[in-house]
Structure 1
Amino acid sequence: MAETHSVTRARIEFGLRTFGASPLPVPVELEHDTDDPYAIVAVLHAGANIVRWIFGRDLLADGLLAPTGEGDVRVSPAADRSKAVVELNSPDGAAVLEAPAQELAAFLDRTYEKVPVGEESRWFDFDEELAKLALLD
């Protein structure tokens, strides 16, 4: 394991794309925890509802440059390159959101300061995670 545990957070206003109208503002809290260095948690505040999505840090970073992702989460640059598009799909529904690409990149840069690319395994305790899985049996 590496240095001291920390969580990097950012609150970014995403826009929920809707047909025939301007995007509706959706506050989103992004989190990167050094205890799970491969993941980003996005907490969306949609009215009284709170929705949590967990996806790869690499997926978010790669999606700022080119379309990426399959299935539940896809990220791509928008036609307006100052924005990124985040598509979320689940059995309960789907949402297409846009976010300021520069704010996403700044958040990612802060996560890389804590856990540089290629050093995630120094922070991730595989034995501990396997032990958690064994408890599920």
Structure 2
Amino acid sequence: MNSSSTTASAELGLRLVVPDRAAVPLVARLHYTAEDPYAIQMAFHVGDDEPVEWIFARELLTVGIVRRVGEGDVQVWPSTDDGERIVNIALSSPFGQAEFDAPISPLAEFLHRTYEIVPAGRESAHVDIDAEIGAFLRRP
């Protein structure tokens, strides 16, 4: 795991849950920056191709460690597997659906580091609203 005063990153071992077959182990790269304090980027490495990237609300992953949360494309919830506490992540897009599980402990440790960088409730202090509006208005 890496971190600085404004960023944190980590690799998270997880499993792709495949119906009627053994789960497939994968690695996801987590990245957080104070420049985008509400979001966590997760890149799933699924072979030699470019990673599949998703952006999650930090709060969604945090709440998902303790109870089911999310609607639509992303749902997160805790459970246990052979006595180990895990977090489940279900993703849905026009291209398909996938469900992953991962041990809670390394995800919770990563999330803890993000809250050391930007405490809960202080996210808006790290967003330059004028720059965001300007960038939005310049889009074609």
TM alignment of 1:1-137, pairs within 5 A: 6-49=6-49, 50-80=51-81, 82-137=85-140
- One-letter amino acid matched to 1:10: A
Tell me how far 1:127 sits from its aligned partner. Answer: 1.0
Identity value in percent? 37
- One-letter amino acid matched to 2:74: V
- One-letter amino acid matched to 2:18: T
Tell me how far 1:75 sits from its aligned partner. Answer: 0.5
- Mind listing any 5+ residue stretches in structure 2 that lack a counterpart? none
Q: TM-score, normalised by structure 1?
A: 0.92
- One-letter amino acid matched to 1:85: N
Q: TM-score, normalised by structure 2?
A: 0.90
Tell me how far 1:5 sits from its aligned partner. Answer: 6.5
Distance 2:45 2:90 in 1: 16
Secondary structure in structure 1 of the residue aligned to 2:23:
strand
Secondary structure in structure 2 of the residue aligned to 1:22:
coil
- Residues 5 and 117 in structure 2, CA contact (< 8 A), matched pair in contact too: no
The number of equivalent residue pairs is 134
Distance 2:138 2:56 in 1: 23
- Residues 5 and 35 in structure 1, CA contact (< 8 A), matched pair in contact too: no
Tell me how far 1:136 sits from its aligned partner. Answer: 1.0
- Residues 13 and 26 in structure 2, CA contact (< 8 A), matched pair in contact too: yes
Tell me how far 1:126 sits from its aligned partner. Answer: 1.1
